[in-house]
Chains A and B, each alone.
Chain A
Amino acid sequence: MKKVFMLSLLLCMFVYTPAGFSIDFGGYLDNTTLFSTNKNTGFYQIDRLSLWLSGNLGKGWSFSALGHYTFEMDYPVLFDIDKLFLAGKWPLIENGPSLFSVTMGRFRFSEFSNFVLDHPADGFRLDFSYPSSVLTFELGYTGLIAKNSTTITLSKADTNDQDDPDVLFGTPRLIGLLQYHLPEVMKGQDLYFSALFQKDLRSEDQIIEEEEIKEPLNENKGGYYDSLYGGAGLSGSLIPSLFYNVFSYFQTGRTLSSFKDDNLYQYAPVIGYLGGMELQYYSTELLYSTFGLSFIYSTGDEDSSSCIEGNMEGPSFLFTPISQTEEHVIFNPKLGNIFYIRGKYTIKPLSMLGKGITDKILVILDGIVFFRSTTGPITDQDKLNPDSESLYLGSEIDFIINIRPFSDLGMRLSTGYFIPDNGPDGFYLNSRAFEFLGKFELSFSF
């Protein structure tokens, strides 16, 4: 009886839409097939079915939900909710902002650069829009995101959880963001200021106490990793068709450390820096070409033994972003002791044949040269040469073809070639050879 009632209620939701109320639903089917010369990956298959429901509730309120089921060869069953939120938007508040909006539930938290934070969390967001500025405040919790969907791994306890099959959810952390955006602050220039924090909310019984004796080393537990970030960014166009983006972040916080000349665990301050710049030139005449040049620099700590709780002397200078970005086809070390220069070229090679399917083919050529900022560790530790003093890590060339023949069907073929620095004094051992990764992605929405 209850089932019949629920079914009737659902049917009513779809069939009957009172004034000001409307809903829509749909889904996506995504397939990823990849092949890599890396023995740990080899052939790999990922299929994902996502379903969404969104609606307008009237009087400025709306809701949105998106969940997925993913089949992966390593994780055959993986359900998660990507977003589930209620949002309200109200214009022209008297003596207040010109637009005020509130979002509550699960949604994506991100700051302006996306290099420090771009991750789902459960919480709320407030936007105060004024004619010449937008103030945003976000507060959220990451401990209810499925473990396989999270990219936040900041402490030893987080990495232990990743390996523990009994742990289902991601790291329990409180995340806060305050961002001030000044659109068109000067002619065509956007200015951003951002302050973020993340606080580890693990209970004390999961954590090594400060001043605990470290002999023997406790491999099962780790410490707290808390951090604060302050940044600014400027983007816009210098001359027609030439666009730029510069940003800078300072980080502070604390990390559990095991100093060389002390047999007690101690917390040490974190002092890190991340900076980046990007230039892009668009040319519609040259078959919609774009030429991009960018670099990213993040500080490292040469005295550390690893990127997670590896500090052994003084403050840790390793920059650690909250979430991890994957910008490249193969080599994606977490930002922190990383410096890279990137050149990117995109073209629509058949656009001269006019509008149609030929206009929907985009070719991307991407070249990245990776360095480490200091001789300290980076997150990619696979087959590294422990005696190497080399700062050069390797180079990657990516070749990508994007085709979208219909609005609801997209295909992407990516190939990546990573040439590691595996010479006699290279960063990697000779056994880490040239790597190739080919990936075919297909996305269909319905």
Chain B
Amino acid sequence: MSKSKLRCMCFMIIFILNVPVLFAQLNEQIDLLMEQEKASFGRAVYLVLVASEFCDESVTLAGALEILKGKDWGIPPKEAEDTLTLGEYSYLLMRAFNIQGGIMYKILPGPRYAVRELAYLKLILENPEPGRIVSGEEVMSLLTRVLSWKEGE
């Protein structure tokens, strides 16, 4: 089994069963995120970057935001405790996992068409409005579905 597959499986186990094993800091961040009615930008970025292997799980939230700033993804910087819209989160997932979008996404890459793409792939299951604030639970479930979809690709 490749390293990426193993990492993905571990993520899935933690996400689904929420078993506190191996990644203590990662698990703590997951627990904190799951409690958030409005997911924080910093935690979502941290989880996505760890899951997509752009950073190690030992990195801090501020460190994860610094790594995001260094990427040329066109995601406007925000504070760690700021809320996150479905559009911003979908765009982050598209960039981090290199998901190819449709024609309109290629012409105008951004949150709007990122949401459309994830909804088309049946990863976003309801209310695909880009401006909607997402909860911590929704951040987790969407990330789990993206990881699972990447596995099957």
The interface of chain A, by Cβ under 8 A from chain B, is 17, 19-24, 26, 54-56, 62, 355, 406-409, 444-446
Contacts and interface: CB of A to CB of B under 8 A. Distances in A.
Interface of B: 85-86, 101-105, 112, 115-117, 120-121, 127-133, 153
Contact of A24 (B101, B104, B131): B131
Given A407-B116, A407-B120, A22 B102 contact: no
Given A19-B133, A355-B153, A446-B104, A408 B116 contact: yes
A22 B104 contact: no
Contacts of B105: 408
B121 A62 contact: no
B132 A56 contact: yes
19 contacts: A21-B131, A22-B85, A22-B129, A22-B133, A23-B131, A24-B115, A24-B129, A24-B130, A24-B131, A55-B129, A56-B129, A406-B103, A407-B102, A407-B116, A407-B120, A408-B105, A408-B120, A409-B102, A409-B103
A192 to B, nearest CB: 23
Contacts of A24: 112, 115, 128-131
Contacts of A20: 133
Contacts, number: 49
Given A24-B131, A446-B104, 4 more contacts: A406-B102, A407-B116, A408-B104, A445-B116
B129 A407 contact: no
Given A355-B153, A407-B116, A407-B121, A54 B129 contact: yes
A22 B116 contact: no
A22 B117 contact: no
A407 B128 contact: no
Interface SS of A by simple majority? strand
B127 A62 contact: yes
Contacts of A355: 153
B105 to A, nearest CB: 8
A54 B115 CA distance: 14
A23 B102 contact: no
Nearest to B85: A22
Contacts of B132: 22, 56
B103 A22 contact: no
A444 B101 CA distance: 14
Contacts of B129: 22-24, 54-56
Contacts of A21: 131
A2 B39 CA distance: 40
B101 to A, nearest CB: 7
B131 A408 contact: no
Residue picked from A17, A55, A62, A408, most chain B C-beta under 10 Å = A408
Contacts of A446: 104
Contact of A408 (B85, B103, B128): B103
Given A407-B102, A408-B102, A409-B103, A22 B120 contact: no
B119 to A, nearest CB: 9
A138 B148 CA distance: 38
Contacts of A408: 102-105, 116, 120
Nearest to A19: B133
Contact of A407 (B85, B117, B153): B117
A26 B105 CA distance: 13
Nearest to A406: B102
B153 to A, nearest CB: 6
A263 to B, nearest CB: 61
Contacts of A406: 101-103
Contacts of B131: 17, 21-24
Nearest to B100: A406
A444 B133 CA distance: 28
A19 B120 CA distance: 26
A20 B115 CA distance: 17
Contacts of B127: 56, 62
B68 to A, nearest CB: 23
Query: Closest 5 CB pairs between A and B?
Result: A22-B131, A408-B102, A407-B120, A407-B102, A22-B129
A312 B115 CA distance: 58
B138 to A, nearest CB: 13
A440 to B, nearest CB: 19
A407 B133 CA distance: 24
Nearest to A355: B153
A343 to B, nearest CB: 29
B82 to A, nearest CB: 13
A20 B127 CA distance: 12
Contacts of B103: 406, 408-409, 444
Contacts of A409: 102-103
Nearest to B119: A407
Contacts of A23: 129, 131
Nearest to A54: B129
